[in-house]
Amino acid sequence: MIIDNPVLPGTYPDPTICRVGDDYWLVTSTFAYVPGLPVFHSRDLVHWEQVGHVVDRDGMVDLSGATTSGGMYAPTLRHHDGVFYLVCTLVSNAGGARGGNFVVTATDPAGPWSDPVWWEGGGIDPSLFFDDDGRVWAHGTRLAEHPEWDSQTEVWLRALDPETLQLTGPEHILWTGAVRGAVWAEGPHLYTKDGTYYLLASEGGTDFHHALSVARSATVEGPYEGNKGNPVLTHRHLGRGEPVVGVGHADLVEGPDGSWWAVLLGMRTYGGYHYNLGRETFLVPVEWQDGWPVFAPGQGRVPQQVDVPFASPVAVGAPQHVTAGVVRPDDVRWTAMRRPPSAVASPSSDGAGWDLRVQPATLADLGTPTFLGVRQQHQDVDVRAVVQVTGLADGETAGVVVRQSEKDHATLGVTRTGDAYTVRAVHRRGGVDTVLGEAPAGVVDGAVTLGVSARGQDYALVVETPGVPGAARTVAVADGRTLDSVAAGGFTGVWLGVYATSHGTPSTSVVTVGSFAYTPY
């Protein structure tokens, strides 16, 4: 079966994968979005169904004060003796909030997962390796203690106590990078094949210079020799005009038929060197030649289409993991900031929409603003939200948002002033708000339809009168080239969603979003 890459479009970066019998399980990073660390299931590496999240309840991790690109980084998922293990880095931006590496466990990857067990130290991007002799090894990346160049990192290895899940025993330094001068040898994973240990790592940072390198050793503690062909996969030599850039951060998996595959991240550029859909999950075939893994043999690049012979056209899930149309509250794609959606909203009485609790926090704040969103997964897409605005108090606002971060987003909000309602388009860029346009809202029976129509890098912010076909008005068009991580910094793509705020004033208001539809164009 020929399938399109990526297999998970939208911001699903740092994929990690393991196989148990005929089942594949995959998890990706989510940074400060909650619920966090989505868990996907597949039988054929192509059709993926999201079955839950690892971090899905208050109190598991403390994301208070974390910026959008803080939070949960680079998980690793492994399975051993009936138990799933996940290790991850929590990057905290707030003083006093706990950060570092943690491990959680579950007997069912759909959850529930245990509370975290924290490790002391260890840097970032932790991973686990269960050796054939029963030993368990933890490894990760940190800045080199004695660097030869700026941002040189080292991959460390220590034993893990399987009972306490704590690091134990002496430390071994396995790797400091394949290419001299390359920064951030990160995302390390260990594997064994035919009695040889393999270390897979990424170098060059997670943008244009991202690259995969591999080393091997006769013993898990090393020493490791690098592949003479390193980097074994990169797109940096293809230039910025390549359709997919920044490929790296891979994890390997062996299929039941003995075939090998890699999942990895990459970014699809459009409208110039911009990737609003963020870092996505791609699938690449792997072959073993002369004792080394060869990624995308015969091509040497991430293919736009992949032949997966054992893929089923009728498997559960969708190759593109997208449900077009109304996104109901029980859809697993919904996320909030730093706390679960239940902290800011409840499903509406008919189960079709959300009751948003209007709060003082705005989208620019590092708290938990009233925001719910889904990843943008298509370059061209229409989003429409029917908002009952009569629940707003004077001076309060509710609407739709194209969200990159606290400092960079575009909103179309309805603000109440007495009995009048005004719709206003605002583009926040680098922390500075600019009003792009405003108009009377055209509220009918207390409701107004607000929307975003993305066509490439143009994000039209539109208002419609409910029940009046063809009555859409474009209030303004936001420039999407300012809303990706190339322009704004950070590690995430765009989220499309709804929000409400009282602009710093205490409030008890509730605004109902009757429906929210995501429709690829």
pLDDT in tens, 388-421: 999 999 999 999 999 999 999 999 999 999 999 9
Same-domain status, 354 and 274: no
Question: What digits encode the pLDDT tens for the residues 177-191?
Answer: 998 888 899 999 999
Is 161 annotated as catalytic? no
Tokens linked to 198: 């393999």
Final residue of a structural domain among 307, 341, 367: 307
- pLDDT category at 120 given cuts 50, 70, 90 is confident
pTM for this entry: 0.96
* Closest-CA residue to 250 (of 61, 64, 15, 8): 15
Question: What digits encode the pLDDT tens for the residues 452-473?
Answer: 999 999 999 999 976 666 668 9
- pLDDT at position 444: 87
Q: Is 124 helix (H, G, I), strand (E, B) or coil?
A: strand
- pLDDT at position 314: 57
- Displacement of CA 68 from its chain's centroid (Å): 11
Indicate which residue of 14, 125, 396, 484 is catalytic. 14
Same-domain status, 234 and 330: no
**Does position 321 have pLDDT exceeding 70, yes or no?**
no
- pLDDT at position 121: 78
Same-domain status, 372 and 281: no
Same-domain status, 287 and 333: no
Range of the domain at 279: 2-307
Question: What digits encode the pLDDT tens for the residues 342-356?
Answer: 999 999 999 899 999
Same-domain status, 100 and 36: yes
Residue percentage of the chain with pLDDT more than 70: 96
Query: Residue 195: how many CA atoms within 13 Å on its side-chain side?
Result: 0
- Displacement of CA 444 from its chain's centroid (Å): 38
Same-domain status, 85 and 111: yes
* b/e 407-420 (16+ beta carbons within 10 angstroms → b): bbbbbbbbbbeeee
Residues 6+ apart with CB under 8 A from 354: 329, 345, 346, 347, 348, 372, 498, 512, 513, 516
Averaged confidence pLDDT in the chain: 94
Dihedral (C-alpha) 338, 342, 347, 353: value to the nearest 10 degrees? -10
Q: What are phi and psi of 351, to 5 degrees?
A: 75, 5
- pLDDT at position 322: 62
Tokens linked to 146: 């004695």
Is 81 annotated as catalytic? no
Matching residue, tokens 């500075």: 432
Same-domain status, 355 and 245: no
Q: For 370-381, what is the mean pLDDT?
A: 97
Residue 320 belongs to some domain of the structure: no
Q: For position 510, which CATH number holds?
A: 2.60.120.200
Q: For 323-340, what is the mean pLDDT?
A: 91
Task: Give the C-alpha separation, 198 to 292, whole Å.
Answer: 9
Q: What are phi and psi of 364, to 5 degrees?
A: -85, -10
* Closest-CA residue to 403 (of 495, 492, 339, 484): 495
Same-domain status, 151 and 201: yes
Residue 502 belongs to some domain of the structure: yes
Query: Could you tell me if 13 and 27 are in contact, meaning their C-beta atoms sit under 8 angstroms apart?
Result: no
Query: Residue 298: how many CA atoms within 13 Å on its side-chain side?
Result: 5
Same-domain status, 342 and 377: yes
Q: What are phi and psi of 276, to 5 degrees?
A: -65, -25
Indicate which residue of 44, 186, 396, 464 is catalytic. 186
- pLDDT at position 470: 63
- pLDDT at position 94: 66
* b/e 466-491 (16+ beta carbons within 10 angstroms → b): beeeeebeebbbbebbbbbbbbbebb
Final residue of a structural domain among 307, 338, 355: 307
- pLDDT at position 469: 63
Cα-based distances in Å from 182 to 73, 143, 151, 197, 213: 21, 12, 8, 23, 11
Task: Give the C-alpha separation, 115 to 130, whole Å.
Answer: 21
Instruction: State the greatest distance between any 2 C-alpha atoms of the chain, in Å, as a whole number.
Output: 76
Q: Is 190 helix (H, G, I), strand (E, B) or coil?
A: strand
Residues 6+ apart with CB under 8 A from 342: none
- Displacement of CA 338 from its chain's centroid (Å): 14
Query: Could you tell me if 422 and 440 are in contact, meaning their C-beta atoms sit under 8 angstroms apart?
Result: yes
- pLDDT at position 443: 87
**Does position 509 have pLDDT exceeding 90, yes or no?**
yes
Final residue of a structural domain among 307, 333, 365: 307
- pLDDT at position 98: 74
Same-domain status, 161 and 285: yes
- pLDDT category at 442 given cuts 50, 70, 90 is confident
Q: For position 150, which CATH number holds?
A: 2.115.10.20
Same-domain status, 332 and 205: no
Residue 126 belongs to some domain of the structure: yes
- pLDDT category at 308 given cuts 50, 70, 90 is very high
- pLDDT category at 97 given cuts 50, 70, 90 is low
Domain count, the chain: 2
